[in-house]
Structures are given as structure tokens and as C-alpha cells.
A and B are shown apart, each in its own frame.
Chain A
Amino acid sequence: MTSYITRRILLAIPVLIGLLVVTFFLVRLIPGDPCTAILGEKATPAACRSFDQRYGLDDPIPVQLVIYVKQIFQGNLGDSLQSSRPVTQIMVERLPLTIELTVTALFLAVLIGIPLGLLSARRHNSAADVATMTFANIGVSMPVFWLGLLLQYLFALILKDTFFALPPSGRLSAGVLPVPFYEVWGWAVNTHTMWGGFLEFIGEFAIFNAFITGDWHLLWDAVTHLILPGIALATIPLAIIARITRSSLLEVLGKDYIRTARAKGALERRVVAKHAFRNAMLPVVTIVGLQLGLLLGGAVLTETVFNLSGVGKSLYEAITARDYAVIQGFVVVIASGYVIVNLLVDISYGFLDPRIRYE
């Protein structure tokens, strides 16, 4: 088991290096040079020379790559070409929102998708099953951004002034200013240190921050702003999870050992809960892990529709502005996260199903 995990991690390293190198070159293939894109009319040849020198863009590309890799190991992702701020700083501000959004969506998808799938499989071919699967088929076919716009229309216009009204966009209501928990608790924090940066990062999780500081008004505001984007982003994964749960449970329920359990007189509830559920969950876990990629892609669209300044929107803006450093940093972090989550999913198989042999 340990040797399997070690081997798995070692195998992930070339993929991560590949991601890094591919991103590095892909970013430099984007047509148009950063200097003209960012300085605009002020981009005289002299200004561009000093700009390129300042950001190391006048070095040969292989040298740039070596410098970049060195920096990464020092926890430095370079400075944004646009705002001259460290990419890590931008990430501290933007990543928490996207994490909150994707985690909310994933929670919704799992908490609703799995029970729907189970229900559907247990009442195979019933009206509930047909309804669930119709819903699932429509769910996977819906454009995220369209669903987002429809939800805005429904909850912010049609249901306006009712109990169900929800804010159409933004992270918090206008005028609401969250105070980070370390300030509430009177800690002296220097955000330029590693530890301070980490605390700042944690403080940027609006929901979590409001919760631990006990600011219920702020918590409510943050949660209500995340509901619609969360639903929009969750719909496709929810439908996929419901379908996989259903087909997987149906397959397991057809196995011999289930028939044995039933023949022994076990209650149907017990057969499903004790004998079938765990085995049926294996493919579901894989799919949940894979949804992360889908969620991150969907986050770009959701953040655009709901006007949220998260990673997706920053990445999109960085691409338009040819901000190499930001694009690189974000893509490397996102892709590494994706590879690592899938690694964890693979490893978790062993704990879910001891029959799996790691050769």
C-alpha cells in the first residue's frame, strides 16, 4: 500500500512538470507582446525595453523557464505584469471565493445527487425513477451560464419582495465590509510574511470568516449571495452523480451476494445499506473527483454571469491582458490541485474497497 502510494506520487511528478512546461510555452505563444497590451499608448520602444527588463522578459525563453522554476520552489510565482503585485497576493484574494463556490456546488451536487440516484435505483422504472432521470438528462444538457441567467431572472425579479428573493450578483451586498478574523481578535498580523499571508488567505473565505467571528448578519449575506451561483454550477455535476449512483447501484444489486443476502431474509433496507451501498460508491467517488475539473471550468462562466471576482474571472482577465505571470501562476495552481485531487481519489479506492490490489 505504502509503496503503491509512493509510486503514484512519483508518477504524478512528471505530469506536474509537463503541466508547468506546457503552460509556460503556451502562455508565451499568445500573440501580442505584454508590453503593448499593458502599457497601451505609452508603449514606446524605450519604455518596452525597461518593461521587459524589469520582468525578465528580455532573457532567452529557456533562461526564463529556469528562473521561473527556481522561483516556484521559493513560493514565489512572480509579479503581475498588469498591476506589479505578486501573483501569490492576487491568489490570496481570489482563490478563496472560487474554493467556496466550487465546494458549495460540490456539496449540493453530492448531497442531492447521491440520494436521488439511490432513490431512482431502488424504485427502478417507477415514476420517481423516470422523473429523476429526465431531470438528470436535462441537467447535463444545460449551459451553466444560461441556467445562471434564468436563476437571476427568477429569484431576483419574479420572486423579488417575496421570502425567496435572492441577490442576483456580487459577493456581498453593497456597503457590507467584512473584517478579517485576526483583526476582530486583535492580532497584530504582518501580511507580508508567509504566516500573515496564510491568515489573510483564510480571512478571505467570507463565509468561514463570518462564522468564526460570529457575525451572523455577514454570514447570512455571504451565504445568500452564493446560493444562486452554487445551484447553477452544481446542476451538471449533480445530474452526473445521480446517474452514476443509479447505474452503479443497479449493477451491484444484480450481483450474487445481494441475492444471497436477500435469500437469508435480510431486510431490503439492510441489503442496500450494508451490502450494496459501499460497493456502489466506488465509481461515484471517481466521478466526484473528476467533477473538479468541470467545476473549475464552469466557475469561469458562473463567475462571469454572477459578477464574482474569483479565479475564473481573474484568469479570463489575465488572458485578455496577456498577463503571463498571472496566467502561469493560476494555471499551475489549478492544474496541480486537479492532479492532486485525482491522486487522492485513486488512493482512496483502497480504503473503500480492500479487494483492490495495488500491484
Chain B
Amino acid sequence: MSSETLLSHLDAAYNLARWLMGNSADAEDVVQDAYVRALAGASQFRGGNERAWLLSIVRNGCYSSHRRQRVREATDFDETVHGEDTATPSPEQRTIDRETSRRVRRAIEGLTPEFQEVIVLREFEGLSYKEIADVVAAPVGTVMSRLSRARAQLAAALAEEKAQA
């Protein structure tokens, strides 16, 4: 496995990290770190689905990064970083497409990471339940129920936003 074949999954890796981390700087760091790990551990790769294997490394990197951040937050809560996002689009930007996109984005961002990751892997990357199970290290049955609950939450969140709009 070369770095070039692994790089063909870069968009998938970055998209997952971007959703789980919530910002581009952290997502880039996690992805770069994941590639270093993947390339170093390429000899231990026992065949199977290379994309799922890479995504599992990215996913675990996101979780470790969150864990480290939680430890930091416990001692140092920064309002500018963790405060409520107050950015609102200007009236000109409120075309229907952007509005829909924003609503969907907020709905996904409102999910917990366990639900976010199954949605991203299924809806954006089209992974099978078995592949998702490999990435998130959970049984297929758990993937199925998480996906189901995640979609129910998204449906509720989208209906609520629509009602408010």
C-alpha cells in the first residue's frame, strides 16, 4: 500500500474529521496524524477494506483529540472557543439552497459524535453497515440502531427548524 493509494481516500478522511471535530484546523491535524499512523502501520494492515481501515484511524484520532480537549477544558474554559456560535448569514445569503444547507448542517452538528459518524459514513460515503461496524468498532446491530436513532433525531430537528422558520 503506498501513500498515493491512501491519499485517494483523503476527501473521505477529511470530511469525517471535519464533521467530528467541528472545525477545519483540528480536522486537518487529525487527518495528517492519521496518515502518519496509517503509513507507519501499513505493514500491519491485514487486507480487507483499506478505506474502512483508514477511516477507523481517523475516527479514533478524532476521539482522542476530543478527550485531550476535555482534559484541557476542565482546567481552562475559553468562552471565545466554546461559547455559542452567534454567526448568522446576511439577508442576501438567505437563498433557499443555502438556507436548506444550513438547516441540514445544524441538524447534523446537533448530533452526538456516535450518531454523527454513522450518518457521515452512510450518507456521505455510502459505506455498508459492515464497513461502518469496522470503522466504529461496534457490532452491525449497534450500527443499525444508531443509524435509525440518528435519522429519527435528524427528522425531528429538521421538522422543528422548519416550524421555526
> Does B associate with A?
no
